[in-house]
Amino acid sequence: MTTGLTPDQLTDAMPFARALGVRIDTAGPDEVAGRLDWAPDRCTAGGVMHGGALMALADTLGAACAFLNLPPDTSTTTLESKTNFFRGVREGCVRGVARPLHTGRTSIVVQTDLYDDTGRRVAQVTQTQAVLRA
């Protein structure tokens, strides 16, 4: 699917992501990349970035990736999302990369890897998106 949307327009289409501070840097059907800065108001106890903030970043990038792989005259919604956390984030910027694992007629599966400033993977999210006919 060619949308002609810029990364900023994709983010603007998801008000929650914009409010949270998620930024999409690059977007295409094969890969969507973005980031979320560490901030005290995105943390849980001990100054560790909240898992929900990390999941929201991954969900935003994954949804954009699924959207860019939709057949004409369809839309999408998340059916399932699974997160594995590997380490906490206490500072810096979390970067994410979403890539399609499967683009089918009825579903799209996307994997999003999240990394800290040193390049260590902090989480991996796999989500299944339904392809909805108009």
Contact 76, 70 (CB under 8 A): yes
The CATH number linked to 21 is 3.10.129.10
Say which residues have a Cβ less than 8 Å from residue 93's Cβ, sequence separation at least 6: 35, 36, 37, 38, 117
The answer to whether residue 1 scores a pLDDT higher than 60 is no
As a whole number, mean pLDDT of residues 28-57 equals 97
As a whole number, mean pLDDT of residues 21-37 equals 98
pTM for this predicted structure: 0.94
As a whole number, mean pLDDT of residues 8-16 equals 92
Domain assignment present for residue 42? The answer is: yes
Domain assignment present for residue 40? The answer is: yes
Domain assignment present for residue 12? The answer is: yes
Residue position matching structure tokens 């369809």: 74
Domain assignment present for residue 19? The answer is: yes
As a whole number, mean pLDDT of residues 83-97 equals 98
Q: How many domains does the chain have?
A: 1
Per the structure block, which two tokens stand in for 126?
A: 């796999």
Range of the domain at 53: 7-133
Residue 63 burial class via C-beta count within 10 angstroms: exposed 0-12, middle 13-18, buried 19 and up: buried
Domain assignment present for residue 118? The answer is: yes
> How many CA atoms lie within 13 Å of 35's alpha carbon, on the beta-carbon side?
13
Confidence band for 134, pLDDT divided at 50, 70 and 90: confident
Domain assignment present for residue 2? The answer is: no
Domain assignment present for residue 1? The answer is: no
